[in-house]
Structures are given as C-alpha cells and as structure tokens.
A and B are shown apart, each in its own frame.
Chain A
Amino acid sequence: MSDRPMIEIESVSKWYESFRVLSDCTTAVGRGEVVVVCGPSGSGKSTLIKCVNGLEPYQEGRILVEGVEVGAKGTNLPELRAGIGMVFQHFELYPHLSVLENITLAQRQVLKRSKAEADERGRALLARVGLAEKERQMPADLSGGQQQRVAIARALALDPKAMLFDEPTSALDPEMIHEVLAVMSELAAEGMTMMVVTHEMGFARRVANRVVFMDEGRIVEDVETEAFFTAPESERGRDFLSKILNH
C-alpha cells in the first residue's frame, strides 16, 4: 500500500468541445519522485497537471492522488487540493494582500490555523525562500523571481504532500531563473514529490528522476532522465531535444 505512487494517471483523455487536448495519458509519480513534463507549446502539459488537482475536469480515465480519485463525484476537491501545492507561470500572487497575507490566507481559511500560528509558519517559509525581510511588502513591489519564491512559500504553507509546477520560470528574466530553480532543487533534495512542467533542461537533468515528453496531447515518452537525454526513443523527442538544447 505505501509503495503505491502518490499520483497515478490512468488512460486520461480530455476534450475541449470536440478538440481532444489529452489522449489516453498514463503515467505515475512516486513518493519523493521528481518528474519533469516537457513538450512543444500546446501539447497539453498545463492541461495535464491541472487535471491532477482538479482545476480542469477530464472525461475519460482516472487520476488518483494517494488513492483518491480526483474526478469522482464524491471527492472533496478543496481538501484534495490543500494537500497538493501548485505554482503557476505568472505567479498569481494576490495583489491586494501583503506578502505575508498571501501565505497565511489559506492556512487560516482552510487549515483553520490561528493568526499567530499562520504568521509564524509564513515567516519561517519566507526565511526559507530567502525573503524574510519582505513580509510587509505588496507583491507588486517585488521582482519576478521574488514573487515566484513567495508563490512557492504560499504553496508550501499548507504542508503539501506533492507540488505541481507549471513553467515556474518561463515568465522570468534570465538572471532570476536561477534563484527559483535553487529553491525547487532544495525542495526536491528534501524529498518533496514534484511534477514540474519546464523547459529548463539543465534543471531536469540534475533534479528529475523521470522525464515525461508530451506531443499533441499524448505522452510520447516516459523514461528515466538519463535515458531521455542520452537516447530519446521517439523521433519527436529527439527533435524537441535538439531544438531546445541548441536554441
């Protein structure tokens, strides 16, 4: 039972009207495993990870998080989502709340922590992502890299069992990418279960256990990281790699 994967995706298909975004996707993320999802633009990477925490519904197949089926009728989605942190390309910090309030909102509303408890946890997390002195600032006053680190702290505040990242560094200036990847690498080293959509192949190669390569809504490859980088099985995988590594 305990060696059951944290996230199981079984033959999942999804349509937008008549357009098939996901076709028969199957993969899994084990406890403490880091899986990088990559593929060309529009291949369905964001859609796939949004299905994992039920932000997007799927029409066929099953997704299980710790054995709980995301798409089942009786599933308590808020509870399931509270156990999975998510980080977005455009940070999505709440602009009307201070940095600390961004991190305490869900702790107080969802976990019902007291203000003192939530603040304490929030400060500890801000220190951890290197932003201890920013708690009173508004998000708009921070750089992109700082905002994304706050967003990671916000997700961690609920003590999630897994983290989903959707291109966390694609909206950042090059000099800020590193500080965000550093926080993510640290998380991975601590044993966090992570599913990461990214085009940062250096990060993938260093941190990921497996790489899932998607194209046109299908999972084309799902292999050990080294295998993907040294000898991608598919033509499309090879193509993608050569483009992204030589751009």
Chain B
Amino acid sequence: MNYSFDWSVIWEYRELITRGFINTVLLSLLGLIFAALLGILMGTLASVSSRRLRWIATIYVETARNIPLLIHMYFWYIALAYLRLPAFACAVLGLSIYSGAYVTEVVRSGIAAVPRGQYAAALATGLPPFAAMRHVVYPQALKIVTPSLAGLASQLIKDSSLASVIAVAELTYEAGAIEGLTFRTFEAYIFVSLLYLALVTIVSQVLMLLTRSRKSETISVSEG
C-alpha cells in the first residue's frame, strides 16, 4: 500500500473542523443535560408505587430504546419539519429522547439499590416525598450508578455523530465534507476520530473526578 498521507488538508479546512467540533460539543452537552433530566424524571416514575405512573416510564423506555437512533433522528427531523425547527434542535431532541431511555434504566436501578428504609426514614422526619428523594435517595443512588452514567455519557458523544444524517454540521458531517472536497478520506476520518477520542476521554475523566471530589468533600467535611 503506497498511500501517501497529506495532513495539510486538516490545516486547510481547520474552520470546518473547528465548527464541527464546536457543534459536536454543543450537541453532546445539550443531549447530556436533557437526557439526564428526562432520565431522572422517568427513572423516578419507574420507581414509584403507582402502577399507572410506572407504565408511563416503561412505555417510554421500551419505545425509545428499541427504535434505532438513526430513525429517531429522521423521525424528529421530518415530523417537526412543519415547525421549521433547525436540524440541530431536532438532533438534540432525538439524541436526548434516545439516550434518556438508557439513563432512565440506570436511574431506576440506582434508586432500587437504595434500601427502602432510607426513604421511609426521611419521610418519617417530615420531609415531603420530593425532598426525601433529593436529599436522601438521589445522592446515594448517584454514587452507585456513576460508572454507568459515565459510560452513557461517552456513548452519547459517539452517538451524536448520527446527527450528520440530518445535515447537522458536527464533526462527522464535516469529515464527510472535507472528504468530498479533497478525497482525503483517511486524513479527515483519522483526525476527527482523534478528536472524538480526546473528547470522550476528557468527559469521562471529568465525570469520574467530579464524583471523586464529591466523595472527598464529604470525607473532608466529616474530618475537619
């Protein structure tokens, strides 16, 4: 194989790559926020005693999770076409709803891992249900599921590449664009791969650090 690499195209098209990187970061960040909110809400519904509310969560998880993300992307793009929402907003929606289903399952399992007696004890002191969840159940559940959540976050960043199919100018889309302009397939895709790798590594390390410092925080409070 005598393919000769020409990395100058990366520099030449640095604006496209920068734009793609920024969009990937924004898309992932918004996706993470909305997936987390949706996951906490639905994961809590999945844990309550009311059968009807649990059903809502089950139906959401099963439908969102069992439809390929690619279809989510097309669906929101086409279904919301009459709203004239920008493709970026549709991608955020598709990504959040899809990943939110996985977050829901993780949150549900985290809540289930906290002994029931903890919630009862919190209620017994007069905390309303929401405050009991917020101060007693969620913090313990979060500690249990942090590794799974960090995994979902990296998954979500990689999944954001599918937004390219509805012409959101994120990294993968820009790599395709550069390829189309220069036929430098390897250079373009190798370079964006490195960017994804860096992004995913940074985000999962930061998430791990955050929870570690949270732990040392409680320990330092307890010791001085």
**Interface residues of A, Cβ cutoff 8 Å to B:** 50, 53, 55, 77-79, 81-86, 88, 90, 92-98, 101, 105-106, 109-110, 136-138, 154-155, 158
Could you tell me the distance in whole angstroms from the C-beta of B138 to the nearest C-beta in chain A?
A: 10
Encode B139-165 as 1/0 by CB contact (under 8 A) with A: 110010000000000000000000000
**Max count, chain A CB within 10 A of own CB: residue among B135, B223, B224:** B135
Known: A96-B140, A110-B126. Is A137-B121 also a contact (CB below 8 A)? no
Q: Known: A86-B121, A98-B218. Contact between A79 and B126, CB under 8 A?
A: yes
Given A78-B126, A136-B222, 15 more pairs with CB closer than 8 A: A55-B124, A78-B123, A78-B127, A81-B124, A83-B126, A84-B124, A88-B120, A92-B117, A94-B118, A96-B143, A105-B136, A109-B127, A136-B224, A138-B222, A155-B124
Decide if B83 is an interface residue (CB 8 Å cutoff): no
A–B complex contacts, Cβ < 8 Å, 20 sampled: A77-B123, A78-B128, A81-B123, A81-B125, A81-B126, A83-B126, A85-B124, A86-B121, A86-B124, A88-B117, A88-B120, A88-B121, A92-B115, A92-B118, A93-B121, A94-B140, A96-B143, A105-B125, A106-B122, A109-B135
Tell whether B198 is near chain A: CB-to-CB under 8 Å: no
Chain B residues with Cβ below 8 Å from A105 are 122, 125, 127, 135-136
Task: Determine how close the nearest CB of chain A comes to the CB of B221; give it in whole angstroms.
Answer: 6
Please report the C-alpha to C-alpha distance between residue A94 and residue B133 in the assembled complex, in whole angstroms: 12
- The answer to whether B125 and A136 touch across the interface, beta carbons within 8 angstroms, is no
Closest to B221 in A: A98
- Inter-chain contacts of A95 with B (CB < 8 A): 140
A-B contact count (CB 8 A): 79
Interface residue from A77, A82, A101, A138 paired with B125 (Cβ < 8 Å): A82
A85 to B117, CA, bound (A): 15
B202 CB within 8 Å of chain A: no
B125 & A92 in contact (Cβ 8 Å cutoff): no
User: Does B210 lie at the interface of the complex (its beta carbon under 8 Å from any beta carbon of A)?
Assistant: no
Contact with A along B95-138 (1 / 0, CB 8 A): 00000000000000000000101101111111110010001100
**A78 and B126 alpha carbons, distance in the complex (Å):** 4
A201 to chain B, nearest CB (A): 26
Interface residue tally on B, bucketed by range: 20 to 34
Q: Give B30 Cβ to nearest chain A Cβ, in Å.
A: 29
A105 to B126, CA, bound (A): 10
Chain B, Cβ-Cβ closest to A164: B124
- Say yes or no: B117 contacts A154, CB within 8 Å: no
Residues of A within 8 A of B139 (CB): 96
Most chain A beta-carbon neighbours within 10 Å: one of B128, B223, B224: B128
In the assembled complex, which residues on chain A have CB atoms less than 8 Å from the CB atom of B124? 53, 55, 81, 84-86, 155
* A-B pairs, 7 with minimum CB distance: A82-B126, A92-B121, A106-B125, A86-B124, A110-B126, A98-B222, A92-B117
User: Which of B115, B221, B222 has the most CB atoms of chain A within a 10 A radius of its CB?
Assistant: B222
A84 to B121, CA, bound (A): 12
Contacts of B131 in A (CB 8 A): 109-110
Choice from A90, A94, A158 contacting B126 with Cβ under 8 Å:
A158
Q: Quick check: B125 and A155 within 8 Å, CB to CB?
A: yes
Give the docked Cα–Cα distance between A164 and B128 (Å).
19
The residue on B at minimum CB distance from A107 is B125
Tell me the complex Cα distance, A28–B217, Å.
Answer: 47
Residue numbers in B under 8 Å from A94 (CB-CB): 118, 121-122, 135-136, 140
- Is the beta-carbon distance between B125 and A158 smaller than 8 angstroms? yes
CA distance A162 to B127 in the complex (A): 17
CB distance from B224 to the nearest CB of A (A): 7
- A120 and B140 CA atoms in complex are apart in Å by 26
CA distance A106 to B117 in the complex (A): 16
Chain A nearest CB, measured from B213 CB (Å): 15
* Chain B contacts for A55, CB-based, 8 A: 120, 123-124
Contact B117 A90 (CB under 8 A): yes
Task: Name the distance in Å between A124's Cβ and chain B's nearest Cβ.
Answer: 17
